[in-house]
Amino acid sequence: MAEKNMSDDIEAYLKQILASNQQIEIRRTEIAERFNVVPSQINYVIKTRFTIQKGYLVESKRGGGGYIRIGRFSVRQDVLVLEQMLNCFDVTLTERMANDILETLYREKLLSQREAVLLSAMVARESLMLGNLTIENQLRSQIMRQLLHRLRLEHEGE
């Protein structure tokens, strides 16, 4: 449980910095020292909490002068991000990942609150209960792919 709390603290710290900057560049070892954790803990937080589904682009460079760059993106300003969202999952998609995508689309005003809630209900485990988790995740992936393709087409038409 303490590890989860530390992950929450690291996430909150990074989001606090991001609140005043569109993009930040950090050194994994410096953040690890600040929170008295191993550098792999920083990797874990970034990999699980700063995903493209949640509205973040992450770039990293390893080595002595290495860094991790985290940026918030705006789907409304960059149609290529919709393409990257499509490429971030394959033929299966978990309910959590689908909801992360829907939350990002809502935050970016590509979906209304009502649309996001309805779509979330459609891709929920209870709605797709087919008795086979793999098939449920495949169906969820197909639904979200169609949504993202449609949004991309609408966005390109603007």
Q: Where are the domains of the chain?
A: 2-72, 79-157
The predicted structure's pLDDT at residue 4 = 55
Phi then psi dihedrals of residue 56, to 5 deg: -125, 145
Q: Taken in order 93, 96, 97, 101, is the CA torsion positive or negative?
A: positive
Q: Which CATH number fits domain 2-72: 3.30.56.130, 2.40.50.140, 3.40.50.1820, 3.30.70.20?
A: 3.30.56.130
The predicted structure's pLDDT at residue 145 = 92
The model carries a pTM of 0.67
Phi then psi dihedrals of residue 104, to 5 deg: -65, -45
The predicted structure's pLDDT at residue 108 = 83
Average pLDDT per block of 10 residues along the chain, 158 residues long: 73 91 88 91 90 84 77 70 81 93 89 96 94 95 92 73
CA distances from 106 to 59, 81, 114 (A): 24, 15, 9
CATH code: domain 79-157 is 1.10.1200
